[in-house]
Amino acid sequence: MQKKILDVKGLETRFRTDEGVVHAINGVSFEVNEGETVGIVGESGCGKSVTMLSVLRLIPMPPGVISAGSAEFYEQDLLKLSEKEMQSVRGAQIAMIFQDPMTSLNPVLTIGKQLTEPMLLHLSISEEEADRRAVELLEMVGISEAEGRLKDYPHQFSGGMRQRVMIAMALSCNPKVLIADEPTTALDVTIQAQFVDLVKRLQADLGMAIIWITHDLGVIAGLAQRMMVMYGGLFIEEADVKELYANPQHPYTVGLLGSLPRLDGKHAERLVSIDGLPPVLYAPPTSCPFAPRCEFVVEKCLEENPALEEVAPNHKVACWVDIATGRMK
């Protein structure tokens, strides 16, 4: 029986900019169960990172503001905690790793210092104990001669190794949830595969839930149990992995899957792309945000924003049209 550990409802986040108020997230809801891996997929700018940063309240408060919603973690609403209480959650209960390993580590502090920092903060252990565990962590993520490397600096590691260090750092306090914000985007392909394997192994050993954000559908396929597709600051489709790939119901998802280059694709076949650019919303969406780019668009799409509705077991989609028929449902 799966235990729900994170329950986000109706999350809305806005940013004040010179051009106006940007509605980055417009009512996002999702759940994460203990030990499961959830993938969040979408183009750059659709609001995936902002969602997770909002949950951890790492959004800079001017110019951003979380304007609505709740995020219950073990039945405690994170959005209502004090900053101090939040600090004991970050890094200890929920950890996050980021996209660019080249810039995500502090260049002037040793790896050892950065690794032991969260442990010394959240766990009551001595410095020697922390160092020991740091060495263990490095070995766990596959970095050899770990003990000597504690004194090294980030620039002495390659990109892939840095990302491993990031993971080690994130897992140092045994968090319940690991949020990985596009962790392989900046790595090259072979390293990517190694990294994904590592993460799988770590999850098997430690049992944390993983929220994996990516725009790369290929990578997520082998990793997640459930997938959520995001567009215009909203989830527009949700399904189990196999179901989503086999049976995408939202025109955007179809487009995403179609645009994947396939090894078994026909030679000299042009890659399918979706015309247009993702929207920047200066007001809450009153129509379907994908409508301008959708090949199945009907009049209703421009008048009202569809809500997520179940169309099959564990498969929700937010669309007015049945893409099998091309007509309204």
Partner 1 sequence: MLTYIIRRLFILPLILIGVTMLVFAMLSMLTPYERASLYVSDIPKRQGAIEDIVKKYGLDDPIHIQYWRWMVGQKDEVTGEIDGGILRGDMGFSTVGHMPVAEVIKHRLPATAELALLSAIPLIGLSVWMGIKSAVHHNKLPDQILRVLAIIGWSVPTFVLGLLLLMFFYAKLDWFPPERLSLWASQIVQSGEFTRYTQMNTIDSLLNLRFDIFLDALRHLVLPVITLSIISWAFLLRVTRSSMLDTLRQDYMTTARAKGLNERRVIKGHAVPNALIPVITVGGMTLIGLFNGVVITETIFNYPGLGKFMAASAAMLDVVSVLGMTLFSSFVLVFGNLIVDVLYGIVDPRIRLD
Binding residues for partner 1, per CB under 8 A? 53, 56, 58, 83-84, 87-92, 95-96, 98, 100, 103-109, 117-118, 121-122, 153, 155, 166, 169
User: Shortest gap between Cβ of 212 and partner 1 (angstroms)?
Assistant: 16
- Based on CB atoms, which residue is closest to partner 1, 118 or 285? 118
> Closer CB to partner 1, residue 199 or residue 256?
199
User: For residues 13 and 60, is the Cβ–Cβ distance under 8 A?
Assistant: no
The residue among 63 and 265 lying less far from partner 1, judged by its C-beta, is 63
**Other C-beta atoms lying within 10 Å of the C-beta of residue 142:** 17
Tokens 């101090």 belong to residue: 84
Shortest distance in whole angstroms from residue 164 CB to partner 1: 14
> What tokens were used for 254?
């179809």
Task: Specify the residue, 109 or 246, whose C-beta has the smaller distance to partner 1.
Answer: 109
* CB 169 within 8 Å of CB 115: yes
**In the complex with partner 1, which residue's Cβ is closer, 181 or 238?**
181
d(CA 152, CA 111): 6
Strand partners, 234: 231
Query: Smallest distance, Å, CB 199 to partner 1?
Result: 17
Kindly tell me which of 90 and 176 has the beta carbon lying closer to partner 1.
90
Classify the C-alpha dihedral 221-55-185-255 as positive or negative: positive
Residue 21 pairs in a beta bridge with 16
Reduced to 3 states (helix: H, G, I; strand: E, B; else coil), residue 144 is coil
Task: Find the shortest distance in angstroms from Cβ 175 to partner 1.
Answer: 10
Shortest separation between residue 107's beta carbon and partner 1, angstroms? 6
Q: Look at residue 269 and give its three-state secondary structure.
A: coil
Between 8 and 179, CB nearer to partner 1: 179
Q: Minimum CB separation from partner 1 for residue 24, in Å?
A: 16
Q: Least distance (Å) from partner 1 to the CB of residue 114?
A: 8
Query: Which residues, 6 or more positions from 94, have their beta carbon under 8 angstroms from its beta carbon?
Result: 55, 56, 73, 175, 176, 177, 178, 179
Contacts of 117 (CB under 8 A, 6+ apart): none
